[in-house]
Amino acid sequence: MSLVYERAEILGCRLDVIDMAGALQVVQDAVGSREPSQIITLNAEMVYRAQHDRRLIDLYSKARLVTPDGIGVVWALRRAGWQIAGRVTGIGLTLRILDMAREKNWRIFLLGGEPGIAEQAARKLAASDKPLTVVGVHHGYFHDQESPRIIEQVRAARPDVLLVGLGAPRQDIWIANHLQALGVPVCIGVGGTLDVLAGKAKRAPRVWRRLGLEWLYRLVNEPSRIKRQMALPKFAWLVLTKIRPAGKRSRPPRQKSYR
Ligand code: UDP
């Protein structure tokens, strides 16, 4: 059984109408088929950035899966009339993929973060109650000329899942450029998730997450994010002015279904 889900479009960017269970099914299908697949978790900042960079719009359209990461894109989807359970964030999806990896004995490669972070994350993952098979690590501060060497290292390790934490959109561009050469069934951009796995950064407390305020928590803890987050009001303005509320749509959106 393969999962069928709708592809929505928000301000020109492809976004899949899918929940966590559906996203995990896609991950499982990709590992099963061994077909190299890119997963993107898309937030408002990335959609806003794509308004000035058509290459990103193209990149999103070619991925295997683009999930709604962030309350801004969920709001935009709902305004457009899509029924969506909630966010499927990079960190949330990654933690669930890692749980699944423990069960199914998948091989994981961690790429990204400052030198030492991926190693530290790997050590923590290996030391947990149900250890995880981490088959390789590499930090994320490398020049593009070094990519062939890193790709070789990843290929030799034969992972099922590659977590790439270089920050968006660099991580998503890097995966798209090297997807076939990497040959890894599931390649996913995970932002600062490796820092959380390593214990260097903390995830927003559950109550903040439930209120859709993860962005505010991160801003309070990392005030330098303010420059990036200036995209959020601009994104909101575009949504309000360019997306007609669902009531005015002539065709009701179709629901996710299983085949
Ligand atoms: N990073 C990296 N290489 C770079 C720039 C950033 O590996 O050249 C890492 C950085 O150390 C951090 C992550 O990428 O772990 C970016 O985190 P950020 O919070 O910016 O990403 P987001 O979660 O917002 O996409």
CA 151 to ligand 1 centroid distance, Å: 19
Identity of residue 215 = W
Would the pLDDT of 252 be above 50? Answer: no
Q: How confident is the model at residue 247 (pLDDT cuts 50, 70, 90)?
A: low
Answer yes or no: are the C-beta atoms of 256 and 6 closer than 8 Å: yes
Say yes or no: CB of residue 72 within 6 Å of ligand 1: no
Lowest mean pLDDT among 90-99, 157-166, 212-221: 212-221
CA 166 to ligand 1 centroid distance, Å: 4
Q: How many Cα atoms sit within 13 Å of 37 on the Cβ side? A: 19
Tokens of 233: 């009001």
Tokens of 55: 């290459």
Give the nearest ligand 1 atom to 201 CA: 15
Would the pLDDT of 253 be above 60? Answer: no
Count of positions (residues) in the chain: 259
Say yes or no: CB of residue 194 within 6 Å of ligand 1: yes
Find the mean pLDDT for residues 33-39: 97
- Closest residue (by CA) to atom 20 of ligand 1? 167
pLDDT at 254: 54
Say yes or no: CB of residue 169 within 6 Å of ligand 1: no
- Closest residue (by CA) to atom 16 of ligand 1? 167
CA 140 to ligand 1 centroid distance, Å: 8
Q: How confident is the model at residue 151 (pLDDT cuts 50, 70, 90)?
A: very high
Position of tokens 């076939």?
A: 180
Spans of all domains in the chain: 13-247
Nearest CA to 77 among 21, 14, 23? Answer: 14
Would the pLDDT of 259 be above 50? Answer: no
User: pLDDT tens digits for 203-218?
Assistant: 899 999 888 888 899 8
| DSSP symbol at 258 | E
Helix (H, G, I), strand (E, B) or coil at 6: strand
Say yes or no: CB of residue 114 within 6 Å of ligand 1: yes
Alpha-carbon span 134 to 157, nearest angstrom: 9
CA 175 to ligand 1 centroid distance, Å: 14
pLDDT at 120: 98
Backbone angles phi, psi at 112, to 5 degrees: 135, 175
CA 96 to ligand 1 centroid distance, Å: 20
pLDDT at 12: 97
- Closest residue (by CA) to atom 19 of ligand 1? 192
Say yes or no: CB of residue 166 within 6 Å of ligand 1: yes
Please choose from 150, 166, 228 the residue to mutate so as to test ligand 1's pocket, defined by most ligand atoms within 8 A of CB: 166
How many other C-beta atoms lie within 10 A of the C-beta of residue 103? 9
CA 218 to ligand 1 centroid distance, Å: 13
Would the pLDDT of 46 be above 50? Answer: yes
Q: Is residue 144 packed enough to be buried (19+ CB in 10 Å), middle (13-18) or exposed (0-12)?
A: exposed
Alpha-carbon span 210 to 97, nearest angstrom: 21
Say yes or no: CB of residue 228 within 6 Å of ligand 1: no
Lowest mean pLDDT among 9-13, 16-20, 199-203, 245-249: 245-249
Say which residues have a Cβ less than 8 Å from residue 223's Cβ, sequence separation at least 6.
none
Alpha-carbon span 49 to 26, nearest angstrom: 26
User: pLDDT tens digits for 53-85?
Assistant: 999 999 999 999 999 999 999 999 999 999 999
Answer yes or no: are the C-beta atoms of 68 and 62 closer than 8 Å: no
Q: How confident is the model at residue 1 (pLDDT cuts 50, 70, 90)?
A: low
Say yes or no: CB of residue 92 within 6 Å of ligand 1: no
